[in-house]
Structure 1
């Protein structure tokens, strides 16, 4: 493939001279300063102390810093620029950070965007011609320090464009992504320079802090260096320098939510400048602010500025960067629409790699992804191995949530992804680290994918997100699954998906329960809906161009996915049944275990198991109450205790399971008969005692993890993280699944923010003599640009201070918590009374041996309570009918004589008790709403020939016969 096909007369194939002949920003004027003055000023503004004790690495934080020196930003002979702050502190990066930009800093950023400060000092102005009279695209000079950081071998090359390294290009896009075309006057530098884009690397961003952003961006630039340094590549070493075939694109989802320190970081490497953005152009609102620059600078996650050093093979090559800052927060799918429908349409890349801010690609990982596409022309999409960020010395595995997620990622990459890759259909290519062939996803895959974009809701109508039912809206919470299915099922093509083991990416994971629950809510609901979508539309596979062999395996995978979906649906009952059955097998005395209960003995084990079971159900009930009425962030303590309780129950069940299996082979609980043939052995093995079944379950669940990890030569997660995963298996269903399904109505991404951009100035055009539209803009001297850049660098490289989490509970959360506590107390108190009163509950708790005596003893307090409270719940108690002025005792006495009062009064008398035993209504007879107890018709029945009428003296106290309702 070549450069993009021309959309209009503004073709990217035009020559350099023809391009600059069209209306474009005027070049930056020369200010008449000689090189000596320029050099002296830069040294004055940007010099740092060479005697700083805080050594820093040049490129890799893990490299020893003994042989590296401090340097100034201008001096080309020194290799690192770091603030006075310890690298060990910087490397301790926390995950799931939410930027907390203070109001003072926000105000400072807003002041830097306006032009009011220019009134303090009079600058010259310049005229900027608009492309086609409507598109504002301006070149701004970058600070001298950034220009001087570019190596001369690139800056002075014959094919080099001078303004590529000296000027940053800004474009105010006032259109929808679909209208960002050459015909409408929009263009990008790589296309202007007639460069073929082989690899487009996209980083999507919402509100991550500068540490996470720097980690991702620096990792990408290191991977670009790996590609450029290839010596024997037949592709990258032909048709121009390799770095010119790679473009890095950052897409920020809104001005308001983004961390302004991250913007300072981008300004430090030259791809962003304060004060150049325009809120609108002639009243047309700017949708996206697009910056372009080619840089050799980078900032590490430890806030170390990295710049080239002469004759050093570790130097970063020039990287073509596009920075798209959307004016409004419009979600990740819209960011991908800018990537695929706007930038990719002009650049026409062969491969698009998708990364999330915070995901760090490993060494040569992007090269491994590209090689997979290069060697397989029918490969439509691929993903690498994602693993959790474990911190320095793997300290993060001490957090159970991080350890469990690390194990989950590892097992998915060892078992799930390779299996799906063998079938040719990987159900999900994670948006945080995946790649697609651009021409493979063009057409229907992207059309279906972008139905979830909120900004297209009016245009699409009923097919858009606003016209969808709740099922489809949840489906687009896992939009990457939709894209994968549409790609494999694309009519007339045989694209397949694969998993690339050699490509690795490190991502941050939630470290606290609320963030973890909120993240999994979107994942679980989205994946469940997307799985149903792929199963229901599986018939579209027949319209694709896959071979018969591939179709056969796709059918096998479809059956597997159906079974997995069914197991997921019934997982709530499965975990409860497993827990309950194992407790009964081990903890209840029976013939199966030779009447021995373990581990607390025959008397205590059933009692302990009873309370554990009831506790399991009560905490499970709590999850429904919390999920339906509370936010995870507002009920941290309750969710944390729930995680702890289910983990303890799982630990107890695991001990019982291994004890059950151990006794199976020791002959303590089951007899496996090996002497009477295979059939008899299988019958004994799968007997009702369950030992054989438990053995198979344990081996298939835990044994396969160990064996597969060893075969993959990657067993370390078994030692470091398996404990947390095994203990947390129950929580994944009882907490995460319950919360997800109870919040099926919530189709938000959990992102919010103001859509205002009031701090930005507007651009008003004027008519020139040649009738071309232009704007007048302040033309700052290079000295002022360099002076402002010094302050920017200080802010960008300042030590990162993690914002303190606001522990105060909002008023709404406090009301929700009170409601939850009230409901729980009400349910638990009534449940406790029921257990204490009913004989069945007493007998099950093994607190009494004679249920009849317990029944008599515990039911007696209910009688006077019911009689005393009866008037409060009836018309008689309110004096509305005859007999309302009688006391409960008088009404009971009158009830002993049928007909003494009218029928309405008798409706207020509770069920009569004979000999303190509850009567069965089926055993009484009568008429007119009155029933008489027949002899021997108590619940106990006649006893040894003695009728109930004369059984004991108590029968004489209230009359020979009792009238009841």
Structure 2
């Protein structure tokens, strides 16, 4: 991470742009602040590397000064030394092409682990107020910046003065930069799935959000914020998640499990608050040419724990942003921007609803598709696929296994931790992958039989029931769903000129996608009462020393003398003290009301139980309505056959609408980026305020 950052600073230093060289060398305009969250959790090898660079000294680390516990150690240096990924020390040399420019480094070594938000509080409130920076770029440990990532991110802020926050395009490190082993490569299906997910997020989801001017998340792995834009309410709301600054006035919020989960989505809070600031028209954007690689979990334990925090944080932050969107009219966004933000609000609500009912959606899709292929209607000469007359039995076994594994997920989520149930979770991932593959095979079979029925007449009548089913669902519905769900991925990859993830990791994503709902969502909701960040708890023995000066040591004897004189004074006041005690004893007894103490853990579990109950029963109700024969009397839906038809209509159009919205936003974003690129190629970087203000309104 640090070596890639130094190389980007060198690219800035070597740039000939006037805005970098005006007023002094470019390196003087950049300060790198490293915040280590707790001495006990810090690897000694990291400290050795920092010591090699000259920023850290082992022997001056103290646990306390004059019996006052140390909060943090601050170090500062300007250096040209850096240790590369392959443990090579780059030092300045005459005529060396790899020489690094001077880099201003600050190291904040916190005494205790107090969380990511507290570390950002040090950056913005402690160092930011002293340095008063224009842009603050946050980079997580485990992020590798590609060439020109930092200059391109800065250029976006420079050319658009209404840009409050921006993020780069994040890619999964596939064992090339951060972790050179097989576990981090695409041979690992969990890594491959996340690789596809990250690519789609950058090419499609973030691009759609950027078209409206509001990124729902500014990932801490690699993003930037304009300091004067986030000052005030955005940062105050953001830092409410710091447990170190919660006081009695905020005790109610600190006991609210919903609020604490919202703080897990800290990068979403800042992104929302800065856009809806009253009297302002700040917006956020995706800078697709500022790219970085990030390390991702490579095993089920880390993967599930990470997604628990992400999903619960996103859930609470989404509910909060939807509720607080009424603050939008108080901002100074123009009518077009406000209309686009309302479109994104509709998108967020629709995505939230589909995610909530995805548990029943996956189950019903598997059951209904398998039932169509395995149980041809009586009178048809078609045989069940793929096992002939035995297919209904196989499908029944699959249904039992599917439901049993779902129940198992709730048992595991409530009663244990992923690190204690590795085999169970790995087995669950494998079983859901096989069931997903079986359903995909049946979908391919249905498509082939449908095409055969439409293209030829010989023997096609045996499969007329398939054509009738598709006709009842609606040909337009099926066509739009197929094109939107699969075609949008292809279109986004083509527009981004980066389609390779479609060939290397799309298949793995298709097989594991059901586990996102059936394992990750269930575990997240079942542990919504856990508001921790899931950090490692391994501790190291403290190697710090206490610092007590000679003056303190000399004063020990004088303190003893003072204590003796105080005892003599207490003897003189003994009568007065006895009289006061006597009066209190004769005073009528008044029973004090015991303060109402609330079991915080019980309150959190109560919220969890209600949320999980609502999640289970709402999805169970959908399954009952679609599958149970007793609901055939509903005149609005007709018999159970039409229950299934209406389910597929609603489910397909819901997902299609979501993907088409993303596609439209993505296309608009690519057109705007291409226009900006052509404009700046012709006019160069920002020349005057008129051009700046014009671009900020585009």
Query: TM-score, structure 2 length as denominator?
Result: 0.74
Cα separation, partners in 2 of 1:576 and 1:454, compared to 1, 3 Å? same
Q: Does 1:665 pair with 2:451?
A: yes
User: 1:657–1:694: 8 Å Cα contact kept in structure 2?
Assistant: no
SS in 1 for 2:87: coil
Shift of 1:752: 5.2
Counterpart check, 1:222 vs 2:7? yes
How far, CA to CA, are the matches of 1:703 and 1:606 in structure 2?
Answer: 33
2:470 and 2:478 in contact (8 A); partners too: no
Contact 1:592 1:670 in 2 (8 A): no
Q: Is the 8 A contact 2:62 2:547 kept in 1?
A: yes
Map Cα deviations across residues 456-482 of structure 1 (whole Å, 9 max, x no partner).
122643365x2x411111111111101
Cα deviation for residue 669 of structure 1 reads: 11
Pairing 1:222-241 to 2, within 5 Å after superposition: 222-231=7-16, 233-241=17-25
Deviates more, 1:555-564 or 1:660-669: 660-669
- Which residue does the alignment assign to 2:220? 431
- 1:249 matched to 2:50: no
CA distance in 1, matches of 2:353, 2:123: 37
Aligned in 2, Cα 1:571/1:293: closer, same or farther, shift over 3 Å? same
User: Partner of 2:289: helix, strand, or coil?
Assistant: strand
Residue 748 in structure 1 maps to residue 532 in structure 2:
yes
Aligned partner of 1:581 in structure 2 is: 368
Structure 1 residue matching 2:292: 3-state secondary structure? strand
Tell me if the contact between 1:256 and 1:753 (Cα under 8 Å) persists in the aligned partners.
no
Displacement of 1:606:
1.1
Partner of 2:391: 605
CA contact (8 A) 1:650 1:730 kept: yes
Shift of the 615–542 alpha-carbon distance from structure 1 to 2, 3 Å rule, reads: same
Residues 328 and 756 of structure 1 are in contact (CA less than 8 Å); yes or no, is this contact kept in structure 2? no
Question: What's the counterpart of residue 47 of structure 1?
Answer: none
| Larger-gyration structure (1/2) | 1
- Give the Cα–Cα distance (whole angstroms) in 1 for the partners of residues 134 and 376 of structure 2: 68
Q: 2: CA distance between counterparts of 1:379 and 1:639?
A: 43
Of 446, 453, 462, 2:235 maps to 446
Structure 1 residue 607: deviation in Å? 1.3
1:696 positional shift: 4.1
SS in 2 for 1:728: helix
CA–CA separation in structure 1 for the residues paired with 2:104 and 2:248: 34
Alignment map for 1:487-526 (pairs within 5 Å) = 487-526=274-313
Residue in 2 that maps onto 1:272: 56
Cα RMSD, aligned residues only: 2.3
Q: What's the secondary structure of 1:397's corresponding residue?
A: coil
Provide the residue aligned with 2:406 in structure 1. 620
Shift of 1:492: 1.1
The whole-number CA distance in structure 2 between the counterparts of 1:546 and 1:315 is: 46
Q: CA deviation at 1:284?
A: 2.2
- The answer to whether the 8 Å contact 1:279/1:757 transfers is no
Deviation at 1:661, TM superposition (A): 1.7
| Separation in structure 2 between the aligned mates of residue 259 and residue 755 of structure 1, nearest angstrom | 10
Of the three residues 261, 264, 289, the one matched with 1:477 is 264
Residue 708 of structure 1 and its aligned partner are, at CA, apart by 2.0
Per-residue CA deviations over 1:103-129 (Å, capped at 9, x if unaligned) read xxxxxxxxxxxxxxxxxxxxxxxxxxx
> Cα gap change, 1:755/1:636 in structure 2, threshold over 3 Å: closer, same or farther?
closer
In the TM superposition, 1:923-938 aligns within 5 A as none
Match 2:149 to one of 365, 389, 393: 365
Moved over 6 A (4+): 668-671, 689-692, 754-757
Is 1:491–1:545's contact at 8 Å kept on the other side of the alignment?
Answer: yes
2:129 is equivalent to residue 340 of structure 1: no
Cα distance between partner residues in 2 of 1:582 and 1:568: 20
Q: Provide Cα deviations, 1:797-838, integer angstroms capped at 9, x if missing partner.
A: xxxxxxxxxxxxxxxxxxxxxxxxxxxxxxxxxxxxxxxxxx
In the alignment, is the contact (CA less than 8 A) between 2:41 and 2:539 conserved in 1? no
- Residues in 2 aligned to 1:223 and 1:579: alpha-carbon distance in whole angstroms: 49
Label 1:241 to 1:624 Cα distance change in 2 as closer, same or farther (>3 A).
same
Query: Following the alignment from structure 1 to structure 2, what is the Cα–Cα distance between the partners of residues 325 and 593?
Result: 74
Task: Give the 3 Å change call, closer, same or farther, for CA 688–453 of structure 1 in structure 2.
Answer: same
Give the gaps of 5 or more residues in structure 2. Answer: 458-466, 553-628, 630-698
- Alpha-carbon separation, structure 2, partners of 1:427 and 1:702: 24
What residue number does 2:520 align with?
736
**Does the CA contact (< 8 Å) of 1:406 and 1:721 recur in 2?**
yes
Tell me the CA shift for residue 280 of structure 1. Answer: 2.1
Q: Do residues 330 (structure 1) and 114 (structure 2) align?
A: yes
1:242 and 1:743 mapped to 2: Cα distance? 48
The structure that is helix-richer by fraction is 2
- In structure 2, do the counterparts of structure 1 residues 661 and 629 end up closer, same or farther at CA, with 3 Å as the change threshold? same
1:702-723 Cα distance to aligned partner (Å, 9 max, x none) = 2321232123210111111111
Shift of 1:394: 9.8
CA distance in 2, matches of 1:352, 1:567: 36
CA deviations on 1:298-356 (whole Å, 9 max, x unpaired) are 11121111112312333110100000000011111100010000000000000000011
- Aligned to 2:247, the other structure's residue is in SS state helix
Match in the other structure for 1:656: 442
Greater relative contact order (CA < 8 Å, ≥ 6 in sequence): 2
Do the aligned residues in 1 keep the contact of 2:186 with 2:505 (CA within 8 Å)? Answer: yes
Q: Residues 321 and 237 (structure 1 numbering): CA distance in 2 closer, same or farther, change over 3 Å? A: same
Superposition deviation, residue 609 in structure 1: 1.1
1:401 & 1:379 partners in 2: Cα distance? 35
- Are the structure 2 counterparts of residues 532 and 735 from structure 1 closer, same or farther at C-alpha, using a change threshold of 3 Å? same
Which of 125, 129, 139 is the aligned partner of 1:355? 139
Tell me the distance in 1 between the aligned counterparts of 2:206 and 2:540: 42
The 2-side partners of 1:755 and 1:653 are apart by 47
Contact 1:663 1:670 in 2 (8 A): no
The match for 2:359 is 572
Moved more, 631-640 or 279-288: 279-288
Query: How far apart in 2 are the matches of 1:639 and 1:221?
Result: 40
Verify: 1:545 aligned to 2:332, yes or no: yes
SS in 1 for 2:192: helix
**CA displacement at 1:757 relative to structure 2:** 8.0
Provide the C-alpha distance between the structure 2 equivalents of 1:438 and 1:275, rounded to a whole number of angstroms.
Answer: 35
- TM-score normalized by structure 1? 0.54
Output one character per residue of 1:501-538: Cα deviation in whole Å (capped at 9) or x when no partner: 00111011111011100000000011011000000111
Q: Which residue matches 1:721?
A: 505
Which residue of 378, 395, 404 maps to 2:193? 404
Query: Is residue 329–residue 755 contact of structure 1 (8 Å, CA) maintained in 2?
Result: no
* 8 Å CA contact 2:41, 2:540 repeated in 1: no
Q: Deviations over 1:729-749 (max 9, x none)?
A: 100000000000010110001
For residues 564 and 411 of structure 1, the distance between their equivalents in structure 2, rounded to whole angstroms, comes to 16
Against the structure 1 CA distance between its residues 729 and 738, is the aligned structure 2 distance closer, same or farther, given a 3 Å change threshold? same
Structure 1 window deviating more from structure 2 (385-394 vs 395-404): it is 385-394
2:485 corresponds, among 657, 677, 701, to 701
**Structure 1's 252 and 460: CA in aligned 2 closer, same or farther, altered over 3 A?**
farther
Does 1:413 find its partner at 2:199?
no
Give me the whole-angstrom Cα distance separating, in 2, the residues matched to 1:404 and 1:261.
31
Distance 2:437 2:375 in 1: 19
Does the aligned pair in 2 maintain the 1:661–1:695 contact within 8 Å? no
Cα separation, partners in 2 of 1:576 and 1:689, compared to 1, 3 Å: same
* Alpha-carbon separation, structure 1, partners of 2:168 and 2:260: 28
- The runs of 5 or more residues in structure 1 that have no matched partner are 1-215, 672-682, 769-839, 841-965
